[in-house]
Structure 1
């Protein structure tokens, strides 16, 4: 499990030649590297913060500020690969204060599907998983909520949900099967949507 991995890509240009650092959620590392490789985005470097911050949004803004302070002098541009992610607008305000751009949207579920498409769904009874969260379901959902020790808590946490929506970034039958199992464990109907990388790809491929 790579919840605390810090990843840095190689082969970027030196400062002064368009070098850009992506300060990103570790839950997006695989997807960012895939987009980078597929689109030959050699000017982008990647620094991932611990993915477990997904469960602690109050820690995201301080972590991003620390990363900016640490790396700013070494890069021509920094770009934050988080959406609001539960910070209540604080991350957007911090990025504006630091003069740094970030991915638009309330959270990764939205920008993976496309912010406009996601907003149009207006699904208040859907629980979402991405490729990363399917892989890390036990570490990021099941165990933190105590469902392994206290399965009776399921109704308290998920009683108002009707379905689990698996937003698939890749066509992986094994992940689909695992996502179906996650839905069954939560007692929810299952729906799979192939989103690809959505607005994340658009955001990264327009960084110059």
Structure 2
């Protein structure tokens, strides 16, 4: 059973299978999507463990946290694959994974690989004033945006943070009207235009298919 979003944000997820050959070490923000792909494809040989999603608030801590988990679980699996993009680590996560001898997702962040890294690269320059949310971040908007930025206490900071943004792009992994409605509300709270873009799982799905074979 997938933990609730609060647990994934603050605590992560323990390995989901004890006799699997491959361990996916992922961000808690990706747990729902990965577990859906594992179930859909019948990947019984794959286990998932997640670091707390709120590590994204402190990206400099991600490489060390990944290293700790790889060393902790390496002896139990034939292969460990790191389901993080660069995620604001400035190349340090890629360097750490190379040192550990494990592979990781390609791309600068999950917005890119959900869109498809090639497709995102083509539109990135035109969307430099776009603020992105995924399914998880729509659900956890207050925990990842509103409260960490202090907007719950100091709404006057809204213009400082978002004055140069023009639109909020909701990259939808699923067709969920309730999330669409909530994403619209998030855009309204930020004073931004709203755009919903169905991405599905993008490069996450194709990459994990390769890992699983």
TM-score strictly above 0.5 = yes
Alignment of 1:1-208 (within 5 A): 1-2=6-7, 3=9, 4-10=11-17, 12-13=19-20, 19-122=21-124, 123-207=127-211, 208=213
Cα distance between partner residues in 1 of 2:107 and 2:45: 24
CA deviation vs aligned residue, 1:139-186 (integer Å, no higher than 9, x gap): 110000000111010000000100000000000000000000000000
Q: How many residues align?
A: 203
State the shift of 1:11 in Å: 6.5
SS at match of 1:23: strand
State the shift of 1:67 in Å: 0.2
Uncovered stretches (5+) of structure 1, i.e. residues with no partner: 14-18
SS at match of 1:152: helix
> TM-score, normalised on structure 2?
0.93
Residues 131, 167 of structure 2: 8 Å contact kept: yes
Residues 168, 192 of structure 1: 8 Å contact kept: yes
Residues 11, 42 of structure 1: 8 Å contact kept: no
Residues 17, 46 of structure 2: 8 Å contact kept: no
Cα distance between partner residues in 1 of 2:14 and 2:68: 16
CA deviation vs aligned residue, 1:103-159 (integer Å, no higher than 9, x gap): 100000000010011111121100000000000000110000000111010000000
Residues 41, 205 of structure 1: 8 Å contact kept: no
> TM-score, normalised on structure 1?
0.95
Cα distance between partner residues in 1 of 2:195 and 2:63: 33
Q: Which ranges of 4 or more aligned residues in structure 1 deviate by more than 6 Å?
A: none
SS at match of 1:5: coil
